[in-house]
């Protein structure tokens, strides 16, 4: 298969622009950091979680495809592989949180813990040394999964038999369990512990579902953008898009299911230590974000994705993907940022600062630069594993 | 299949193929030649055959949507009637019309309504159950579940002409069978 030089030129261009824009926005964030610490951390945490979610979501999609196979993977396999290869970058970009943890999380402040019976009891888990050690373990495990997946990724050139496909299946199954376990803890450490008295066992699963939605949408946008080039001009067909649209529909429903059931359980119990999370998120303007999530992260995409006509149309499908990617940020903002506000200080209106955009653009620029670099390498490997060959029939 | 007797009324002519793309091609050519009352029989779902035969997309999705909406709204109003009108009960001081607790039942009934609509709608639109079919008279037709592909042009097609249609099909197929009605 001969790949067009224009494709590589295109990727190169995105790579350079990503570095430039990421560098500019990152510089802006760095300059304003000393004077805007208060605004920087919530913005940075939301932006970091957004792009980390795409990396991990790509990892999850690659592993789901590794376990189940299916011709839809022919379309996005290399894209999600390049997506999860951004994890080392995200490990570096974790450093501001590593050093900032003491000013982000209440439990990291010894004065607060001393006078707080609940936090004193939780200090065995919620302490800075544990936070740092666990972060190292999460990234190490994720990168080991990345390495093992790359080794068993379908590659026609190296071994066309099904040995590699079977190994990919095993690695994907074990890797998925490891991902589910480590990300559950990471979601507790980095997100849920912003409100250290509150807990929900559904929380991490909602985040995993959100990552799945976002990364499926991201991979779709990439292949639709590049569908005039090989190999996508051959793999992006209306039938595959229909299958892929069904996956998007299922992921949107899964996200809504998890989100609603956390709400239903807490609403039914109506205990003050549990419902405080939703009380905080349904006042001072946050309720508008909640309603927009119900409408645009569930109702509208759900109804549109029911239509076969829309699912088979690359342009309409990518518009839905764009909407969901935007709503993923709203979801994270609504989940994370209210945790920074103490109940007394919560003024009217949602705190929106230009740093929200700057941090998102800064991390995103670097993320896309690494992504396009890895993609231009990974698409050179031909995919034609036996599973996919059957799918052609 | 024996010598055709001119008196015996026919259901149609059945062309036999041994490859998926040849039956697809034959269907396209038959449609281009103007035939409309025809159908294809294949051992596995063949992509594009519906379009080649000029079949309109099924209305089943709309039936399923309707079934889902009916089930969901019926469930919601049942709950509303029970909790607000017929037997109002104060549960933990919550409002009578507590929609979050109605959602699970509404969801389940939506799925049930949609599933019933899909199953019975599929049977109705396909004209099933249909215990016998003229095609079963052709012994070779049993291969349609194994490794043969068939295209049947029916007598009721206005363009149907025993000799011409037979010649047209013989140009493409392995064999052409007559199907008694």
Residues 6+ apart with CB under 8 A from B161: none
pLDDT at B40: 87
pLDDT at A96: 92
pLDDT digits (tens, 9 = 90+) for A197-211: 888 999 999 999 999
Nearest to A268 among B44, B61, B101 (CB): B101
Q: Decide which of A146 and B12 is more confident.
A: A146
Which residues form the domain of A364? Answer: 22-385
Residue B35 clears pLDDT 70, i.e. is over it = yes
Q: Decide which of B141 and A161 is more confident.
A: B141
Average pLDDT over residues B20-45: 85
Best mutation site among A258, A305, A306 for testing chain B: the one with the most B CBs within 10 Å? Answer: A306
pLDDT at A120: 81
Predicted model pTM: 0.84
Is B100 within 8 Å of A308 when comparing Cβ atoms? no
Is B101 within 8 Å of A260 when comparing Cβ atoms? no
Chain A neighbors of B101, CB-CB under 8 A: 264, 268
With tokens 């990552």, the residue in question is A211
Task: Please report whether residue A11 resides in a domain.
Answer: no
Mean pLDDT of chain B: 85
What is the CB-side half-sphere exposure of residue A321 using CA atoms within 13 A?
27
With tokens 């945790």, the residue in question is A339
CA A161 distance to own-chain centroid: 33
Residues of A at the B interface, defined by Cβ within 8 angstroms:
239, 260, 263-264, 267-268, 270, 306, 308, 393
User: What angle, 0 to 180 degrees and rounded to 10, lies between the N-to-C axes of helices A72-84 and A37-68?
Assistant: 140
Nearest to B100 among A264, A306, A393 (CB): A264
pLDDT digits (tens, 9 = 90+) for A300-343: 999 999 988 899 999 999 999 999 999 999 999 999 988 887 65
ipTM, two decimals: 0.71
User: A28: closest CA among A43, A46, A50?
Assistant: A43
Task: Please report whether residue A226 resides in a domain.
Answer: yes
pLDDT digits (tens, 9 = 90+) for A333-373: 999 988 887 655 555 567 778 888 999 999 999 999 999 99
Helix (H) or strand (E) holding B41: strand B38-41
Are the C-beta atoms of residues A347 and A284 closer than 8 Å to each other? yes
* B91 in reach of chain A (CB within 8 A): no
CA–CA gap between residue A121 and residue A17 (Å, rounded) = 49
Are the C-beta atoms of residues A209 and A51 closer than 8 Å to each other? no
Task: Please report whether residue A17 resides in a domain.
Answer: no
Residues 6+ apart with CB under 8 A from A199: A192
The total number of structural domains in chain A stands at 1
- Which residues does chain A have with pLDDT short of 70? 1, 156-162, 342-349, 383-393
pLDDT at B64: 93
CA–CA gap between residue A92 and residue A115 (Å, rounded) = 34
Length of chain B: 181
Best mutation site among A243, A268, A294 for testing chain B: the one with the most B CBs within 10 Å? Answer: A268
pLDDT at B6: 54
Is A308 within 8 Å of B61 when comparing Cβ atoms? yes
Task: Please report whether residue A28 resides in a domain.
Answer: yes
Helix (H) or strand (E) holding B16: strand B10-17
Minimal CA separation from A264 to chain B, in Å: 6
User: A81: closest CA among A379, A364, A388, A367?
Assistant: A379
Task: Please report whether residue A247 resides in a domain.
Answer: yes
Q: What are phi and psi of A330, to 5 degrees?
A: -60, -40
Task: Please report whether residue A353 resides in a domain.
Answer: yes
Q: Decide which of A109 and B63 is more confident.
A: B63
pLDDT at A352: 78
% helix / strand / coil in chain A, to the nearest 5? 80, 0, 20
Nearest to A264 among B57, B94, B103 (CB): B103
CA–CA gap between residue A306 and residue A245 (Å, rounded) = 9
pLDDT digits (tens, 9 = 90+) for A283-293: 888 888 999 99
pLDDT at A393: 37
Task: Please report whether residue A392 resides in a domain.
Answer: no
Task: Please report whether residue A227 resides in a domain.
Answer: yes
pLDDT at B1: 46
């Amino acid at each position: 298969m001969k790949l067009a030089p224009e494709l590589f030129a295109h990727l190169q261009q995105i790579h350079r622009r990503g570095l430039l824009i990421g560098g500019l926005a990152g510089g802006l964030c760095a300059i304003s950091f000393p004077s805007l610490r208060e605004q920087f951390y919530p913005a940075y945490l939301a932006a970091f979680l957004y792009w980390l979610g795409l990396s991990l979501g790509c990892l999850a999609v690659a592993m789901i495809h590794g376990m189940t196979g299916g011709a839809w993977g022919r379309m996005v396999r290399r894209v999600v592989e390049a997506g999860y290869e951004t994890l080392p970058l995200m490990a570096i970009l974790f450093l501001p949180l590593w050093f900032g943890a003491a000013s982000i999380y209440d439990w990291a402040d010894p004065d607060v813990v001393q006078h707080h019976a609940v936090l004193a009891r939780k200090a065995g888990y919620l302490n800075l040394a544990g936070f740092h050690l666990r972060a190292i373990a999460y990234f190490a495990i994720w990168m080991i999964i990345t390495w093992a997946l790359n080794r068993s990724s379908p590659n026609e050139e190296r071994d066309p038999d099904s040995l590699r496909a079977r190994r990919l299946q095993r690695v994907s199954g074990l890797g998925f369990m490891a991902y589910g376990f480590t990300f559950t803890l990471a979601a507790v450490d980095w997100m849920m512990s912003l409100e250290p008295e509150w807990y929900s066992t559904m929380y991490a699963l909602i985040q995993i579902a959100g990552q799945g939605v976002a990364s499926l949408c991201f991979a779709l946008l990439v292949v639709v953008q590049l569908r005039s080039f090989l190999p996508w001009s051959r793999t992006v067909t209306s039938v595959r898009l229909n299958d892929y649209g069904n996956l998007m529909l299922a992921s949107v429903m899964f996200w809504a299911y998890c989100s609603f059931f956390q709400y239903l359980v807490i609403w039914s119990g109506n205990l003050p230590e549990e419902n405080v999370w939703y009380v905080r998120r349904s006042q001072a303007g946050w309720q508008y974000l909640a309603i927009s999530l119900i409408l645009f992260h569930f109702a509208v995409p759900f109804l549109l994705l029911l239509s076969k006509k829309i699912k088979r149309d690359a342009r309409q499908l990518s518009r839905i993907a764009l909407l969901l990617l935007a709503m993923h940020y709203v979801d994270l903002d609504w989940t994370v940022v209210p945790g920074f506000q103490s109940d007394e200080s919560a003024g009217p209106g949602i705190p929106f600062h230009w740093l929200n955009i700057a941090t998102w653009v800064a991390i995103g620029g670097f993320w896309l630069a690494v992504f396009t670099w890895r993609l231009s390498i990974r698409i050179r490997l031909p995919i034609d594993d036996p599973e996919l060959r059957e799918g052609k029939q | 299949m024996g010598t055709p007797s001119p008196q015996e009324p026919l259901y149609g002519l059945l062309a036999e193929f041994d490859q998926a793309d040849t039956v697809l091609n034959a269907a396209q050519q038959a449609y281009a030649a103007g035939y409309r009352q025809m159908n294809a029989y294949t051992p596995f779902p063949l992509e594009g055959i519906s379009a080649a035969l000029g079949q309109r997309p099924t209305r089943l999705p709309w039936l399923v949507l309707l079934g889902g909406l009916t089930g969901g709204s019926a469930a919601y109003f049942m709950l509303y009637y029970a909790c607000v009108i017929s037997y109002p009960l104060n549960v933990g001081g919550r409002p009578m019309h507590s929609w979050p607790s109605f959602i699970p039942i509404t969801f389940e009934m939506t799925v049930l309504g949609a599933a019933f609509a899909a199953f019975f709608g599929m049977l109705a639109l396909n004209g099933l159950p249909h215990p016998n079919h003229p095609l079963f008279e052709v012994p070779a037709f049993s291969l349609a579940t194994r490794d043969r592909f068939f295209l049947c042009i029916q007598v009721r097609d206005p363009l149907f002409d025993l000799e011409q249609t037979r010649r047209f099909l013989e140009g493409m197929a392995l064999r052409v069978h007559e199907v008694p009605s």
